[in-house]
Amino acid sequence: MNRIESLLILACFLLSPVILNWPSTFAEETVPFPLWAPETPVPETAETPLLEEVRFSVIKKREPEVDGYNWLHGVALVWHQNVLFSFWGHNKSDENTPSEIAQGRHSMDGGITWSPVWTLASGTGDEGRSHGVFLTHNGGLWAFLARFGTGYAHLKTEAFLLARMPLSRDDASVAWEYRGIVAEDFWPCDRPVPLKNGNWIMAGARIPNGPGQAFPAVAVSREMDWLHWDVIALPVPENLGTIWGETTIIVDDKEVTAIIRAGGEHGYALTASSRDYGKTWTHLRLSNLPMPGTKAYAGTLSTGQRYAVGTFTRDHNGARYPLTLAVSMPGERFFSRLFRIRDALFPRGPGESIGNASLSYPYAVEHGGHLYVAYSNDGGRGRNLNSAEMAVIPLSALDARSH
Q: What pLDDT was estimated at residue 402? A: 57
Residues 274, 109: Cα–Cα separation, whole Å: 39
Q: What pLDDT was estimated at residue 18? A: 35
The domain made up of 37-397 is a member of CATH 2.120.10.10: yes
Domain boundaries of the chain, sorted by first residue? 37-397
Q: What pLDDT was estimated at residue 8? A: 41
pTM score of the predicted model: 0.93
Residues 256, 393: Cα–Cα separation, whole Å: 26
Mean pLDDT, the chain cut into blocks of 10 residues (403 residues total):
45 39 41 95 99 98 99 99 99 98 99 99 97 98 99 99 98 98 99 98 98 97 97 96 96 99 91 99 98 98 99 98 99 98 98 98 99 99 98 94 60
Q: What pLDDT was estimated at residue 9? A: 42
Which residue(s) pair with 326 in the sheet?
Answer: 308, 338
Cα angle: 142, vertex 147, 151; to 5 degrees: 155
Q: What pLDDT was estimated at residue 16? A: 40
**Helical (H) or strand (E) element with 361:** strand 359-367
Q: Comparing C-alpha atoms, which of 295, 298, 296, 302 is closest to residue 366?
A: 302
Q: What pLDDT was estimated at residue 330? A: 98
Residues 268, 256: Cα–Cα separation, whole Å: 19
